[in-house]
Amino acid sequence: MEIRGLQRLIRPFRRSIPPESICLMSSPHRSHASQGEKARSRAPSSPLAVDHGIGPQCRRIGVHPARNAGMRELLEAVADGSLSPTQAEAKLKGYVTDDAGRFDAAREQRRGIPEAILAEGKSIQQVISLTELALETTDRALLTRVSDEQFAALESALSESVPEATLERRYSTIRVVSPEYDSPSLDATVGIVTAGSVDAPVADEAHVVCADAGATVERIDDVGVAALDRTLDQVDRFRAADVLVVAAGREGALPTVVAGLVDTPVIGLPVSSGYGFGGDGEAALAGMLQSCTVLSVVNVDAGFVAGGQATLIARAIDAGRR
């Protein structure tokens, strides 16, 4: 397809979306070091929004010659087949749409954390379609709260549509990666701590998010305060981590104890593993919010959010060490 023809196809997007809100992302596989070197070499008036170790830089499309050059590169990539029309749409609009919904392909560049597909409440076909859309636009997909039935159907569908993709499963959290995806690496360690084995499925959401970002994940499981000796036995491992996510149900005491023993950020993750009065994570959440230590807290069972927050901290630590 000729460049001029592609420009006619894309022109409606440019008319309907303010130029200042349209981003053309650079390759997500480019190292932060090379981005920083290029940013430092540019004049202060450069329109490029430089990332500071959080995500790839973003070129804003407008009338500036450099921006037009970026548009031409995009059109040429579609013309020569190295970029699909769906990928081009994602780069122009920041998201792509099909019958299953909209996938925010630009969230990682914009926020530092990719969009995860919440499988709970979605049909099997919606889960499959959104996963394939994520793979096509970002080369990987993260899914949370996936049922056994949904996983079996997804595994079967991807074996036909994307047979080279790799599926990794931790309880109900799934990571799907295509061979083209260049996994990042962070010089930072995230400790994922659980009070009991029943807290593991929620903690695994945090685990998958942090590991996907390239952080080293250290699991410290089943160290609840009912047997305080087993908690204190792990103090050295707690202190070796750069940031900790501590998951606990029932009264939710473990994050407070851990936060009182370390000088690193601790994120409390209340789990709905309790029962009776204050059950379903309510007492755990209330206890963590009332902690007398310096403790950050996320919502009940919000493993993905806890992992995302830990990832942002780990990425900042990694940037400081480089």
CATH number at residue 308: 3.40.50.1970
150 contact partners, CB below 8 Å, separation of at least 6: 119, 122, 124, 127
pLDDT > 50? residue 220:
yes
Same domain, 128 and 89: no
Q: Is residue 99 part of a domain?
A: no
For residue 13, the enclosing domain spans 3-93
Beta bridge mates, 117: 143
Please report which confidence band the pLDDT of residue 141 belongs to, taking 50, 70 and 90 as the band edges: very high
Q: Is residue 86 part of a domain?
A: yes
Retrieve residue 256's tokens: 């407070």
Q: Is residue 207 part of a domain?
A: yes
How many folded domains does the chain comprise? Answer: 3
Q: Is residue 184 part of a domain?
A: no
pTM for the predicted model, two decimal places: 0.71
Same domain, 42 and 115: no
Same domain, 56 and 114: no
For the stretch 16-44, pLDDT in tens is 444 444 343 333 443 444 444 444 444 33
Q: Is residue 21 part of a domain?
A: yes
Q: Are strands 189-194 and 140-144 parallel, antiparallel or unpaired?
A: unpaired
Q: Are strands 166-170 and 173-177 parallel, antiparallel or unpaired?
A: antiparallel
Stretch 170-193: mean pLDDT, rounded?
Answer: 95
Same domain, 235 and 132: no
User: 220, 193 in Cβ contact below 8 A?
Assistant: yes
pLDDT of residue 94: 59
Q: Is residue 44 part of a domain?
A: yes
Same domain, 197 and 314: yes
Stretch 61-86: mean pLDDT, rounded?
Answer: 61
